[in-house]
Amino acid sequence: MNVSYTKNQQFFTEVRADGGVVSRQLAESFSTIRQRSINLTASLSVEDMAAQSMPETSPIKWHLAQTTWFFEKFVLSRFIKDYLPFHPAFTHLFNGSAGINLPRAQRSIITRPSLTLVRSYRTHVDNAIMALIKNLPEEALQPLELGLQREQQVQELMLTDIKHLLGANPFHPSFINVPLEPAAKVSNLKMLELRGGLADIGHPGLTFCFENELPKHRVFINPFAITDRKITNGEYLAFINAGGYSDSVWWLEESTEWRQRERIKAPLYWRKIDDVWHEYTLHGLMPLDLNRPVCHVSYYEADAFARFSGARLPTEFEWEFAANSIIPEVTGLPTIADPDLPASQEELILHPQGASSAVGLKQFFTDAWEWTSSSYAAYPGVKKRVEATLDNHERQMVNQYVLRGGSVATPPTLSRITYRNFHPAATRWQFTGIRLARSIF
């Protein structure tokens, strides 16, 4: 989540002579995106929002406050003269990277401020931002837009953190009271060959992107083949039934130790009840649907499945090359996040639906993130930062792998070809899935 802002020169040029149109659009986007965070909590109890199910997650109350802290710290405090913070302690309490000396795993012990006070904090900051937008100085657009983009990233974290919390409950509570229909039957998995060659990788920088997507650069990609869709539950179940979790031949040494230590026998939310596999979803517990994409698997599991299948995981460059082969590069995406998001959780389907029957490559930006074999690192030619910034993504570039695409929990504006998600190899609580590749010689 520690990322920086890339300025869009075209957007900033248009702002000054639009007669207030952009300000109104910005106000609408700000209001809608901030409200969506609240909407996602509609079915949660106060206890739900204060709990933390593991060190990697955060209480929902903390997410609501931390995103608010960003707008107060980097927008209101900078661009409103003599601005008084809502509460002086919040400046330190909700600064996730440089705040009070509190380990992330202990965020749930912060029982005060109360949820009511956190909501008041959001209302106070939102009202101040809406007033500032009417006469927003140009230099305030950078941190304001970054805050909106970050809030949407946090909305995805909220959903995955909620799922991990509720998924640990033995009663398997539903987050959304909307039943899931069976997925359509998928076609047989196919490997499609791509010739490779010189390819431009990364964002062109003409619209908003995070700095880890830059600079755009050229790489050479050897010919390779890639599956036309994601791996399904049914295909992954065949791996389990073949003894995949007990045969160390498919597993890296580190992943073997992880699997044995954590007693891993299936994807995170799979449950075997009366000898029948079920899957916990945000819509409740359901029989395992063999046609849906497998998700909530670690890099370790994805890599083991690939070896079992006589394949490998694609590199992030192969993934981007394949995605670009079916989706032309878009350079005119809106800079301010699209406000046309579902207004309430009742409109959401928060579980992978499955691949369409269309011929060719598909399913790149839906259902689940896809693990790649690429370690998370800076692109060639990136300018290393030495000064303090709003965020510094370089600090997280160690011991993590890149994921590409997006999931059912990802806001649409973040699902772009060049977006780089990243997690440690053992991560499973995110909607993480598998696509396979092979080298062609």
386-425 residue pLDDT tens: 544 555 677 788 899 999 999 999 999 898 999 999 999 9
3-class DSSP assignment, residue 362: coil
Name the nearest CA neighbour of 354 among 305, 406, 290, 416.
290
Tokens (6 digits) for 412: 């649409």
User: What pLDDT is attached to residue 91?
Assistant: 87
User: What pLDDT is attached to residue 384?
Assistant: 65
Q: What's the one-letter identity of residue 275?
A: D
User: What pLDDT is attached to residue 104?
Assistant: 83
Radius of gyration of the chain (CA): 22
The residues with which 194 forms a beta bridge, in sequence order, are: 224
Average pLDDT by stretches of 10, the chain with 441 residues: 34 42 86 96 96 96 96 95 92 74 83 95 97 92 94 97 97 94 95 96 91 94 98 98 97 97 98 97 97 98 98 98 76 36 60 91 95 96 61 79 97 92 97 98 83
Name the nearest CA neighbour of 15 among 136, 158, 184, 124.
136
Question: Using CA atoms, how far apart are residues 393 and 391, in angstroms rounded to an integer?
Answer: 6
* DSSP H helix total and E strand total for the chain: 12, 12
DSSP per residue over 246-280, as a string? Answer: T-GGGS-HHHHHHHHHHT--S-TTEEEETTEEEEE
Beta-carbon-side half-sphere exposure of residue 264 (alpha carbons within 13 Å): 25
Name the nearest CA neighbour of 85 among 100, 98, 75, 99.
75
Residue ranges per domain, the chain? Answer: 9-167, 191-439
Question: Using CA atoms, how far apart are residues 228 and 65, in angstroms rounded to an integer?
Answer: 41
| Element housing 191 (H / E) | strand 191-194
Question: Using CA atoms, how far apart are residues 291 and 280, in angstroms rounded to an integer?
Answer: 16
**CATH of 191-439 given 3.40.50.720, 3.40.50.150, 3.30.450.20, 3.90.1580.10:** 3.90.1580.10
Biggest alpha carbon–alpha carbon distance for the chain: 67
Tokens (6 digits) for 396: 């997280």
Q: What's the one-letter identity of residue 412?
A: P
Question: Using CA atoms, how far apart are residues 266 and 255, in angstroms rounded to an integer?
Answer: 14
Tokens (6 digits) for 252: 């890296």
284-287/276-281 β-pairing: antiparallel
Question: Using CA atoms, how far apart are residues 37 and 55, in angstroms rounded to an integer?
Answer: 22
Q: Considering the entire predicted model, what is its pTM? A: 0.90
Question: Using CA atoms, how far apart are residues 15 and 142, in angstroms rounded to an integer?
Answer: 12
Backbone angles phi and psi of 219, in degrees to 5: -130, 160
1 contacts 150 by C-beta, under 8 angstroms:
yes
**CATH of 9-167 given 3.90.226, 1.20.120, 3.30.365, 1.10.4100:** 1.20.120
At a CB cut-off of 8 Å and minimum separation 6, what does 270 contact?
277, 278, 279, 288
394 contacts 422 by C-beta, under 8 angstroms:
no
124 contacts 72 by C-beta, under 8 angstroms:
no
The CA distances from residue 275 to 272, 281, 286, 288, in Å, are: 6, 19, 14, 12
The CA distances from residue 49 to 62, 143, 251, in Å, are: 8, 27, 37
Question: Using CA atoms, how far apart are residues 125 and 100, in angstroms rounded to an integer?
Answer: 21
